[in-house]
Copies of this chain bind each other. A is one copy, B any other.
Amino acid sequence: MNPAVEIPSPRRRAPASAKSEQRVRDILRVGREVFSERGYERATTTEIAQRLDISEATVFTYFRGKRELCTRVIGDWYDEIIATIEAGLPRERDIRTQLQFFVQTHLRLFLTQGTGLCALVLSEGRSKGQEELGDALAPLQRRYTAPLMDLLARGQASGEIRRDVPLRLLRTMVLGPMEHLLWEAVLQQRPADVDETVRGLLAVLYPALQAPHAELAALRRFRVDVEAAMHRADGG
């Protein structure tokens, strides 16, 4: 028994019934709105409560505090993204197609509902004095980039992706431009044409990732294939 250790008085347990689960969802939903609109510091528990027309105390019945709520908001959002990617990634297709899916899905999710959250993560996750949040984010960040790393690794194994450059750098080449596009979108409040952007991005990006001469070979094969297909269509 160390006398210097203060035993904290136990917190109220958050209920777990159907009704309360709804409450949790409501608070998370509105919390996501407010945090993404205002950022962590400018978001207030008061505003979250007001938008739901509930007492501020109720928010604290379901979440230990502002910080935990924010962590949950971000965590849930990551989970959604990760789930969407993992569920939809067309693993049987070629690497380029998978990459395109990856990029497109991300941009769509971010641009349609997530610019605020994106900024939240980007700015709150890194500034000094936010290590708790940063720490909570680290594993999510890993799970979040895992599919991409895996994709690139498989590409290297199959020879579709160049092997003369560390994976880390390739990842940077993919995520970097994506983030930059988001940043532009955030600053300009302009929600851009995702599909068009993705096509353009891939056109520049993929050659950089390909094995040095593979592109030429692939395009030639492609041309031959298309030609053959046309012949089949014409003649058959």
Contact = CB atoms under 8 A, between A and B. Distances in A.
A29 interface: no
Contacts of A215: 216
A73 to B, nearest CB: 15
A42 interface: yes
A165 interface: yes
B170 A179 contact: no
A174 B185 CA distance: 17
A126 to B, nearest CB: 5
Interface residues of A, number: 81
Contacts of A228: 199
Interface in A61-80: none
A193 interface: no
A122 interface: yes
B187 A181 contact: no
A87 interface: no
Given A3-B131, A216-B216, A42 B203 contact: no
Interface in A158-191: 164-166, 169-170, 172-173, 175-181, 183-184, 186-189
Interface of A: 1, 3-4, 6-7, 9-13, 37-42, 44, 46-47, 50, 115-116, 119-120, 122-129, 131, 134-135, 137-138, 141, 164-166, 169-170, 172-173, 175-181, 183-184, 186-189, 195, 197, 199-201, 203-205, 207-209, 212, 215-216, 219-220, 222-224, 226-228, 231
18 contacts: A7-B128, A9-B44, A10-B46, A10-B50, A38-B127, A116-B127, A116-B128, A119-B127, A120-B123, A126-B183, A169-B201, A169-B204, A173-B177, A176-B178, A180-B180, A195-B231, A216-B219, A219-B220
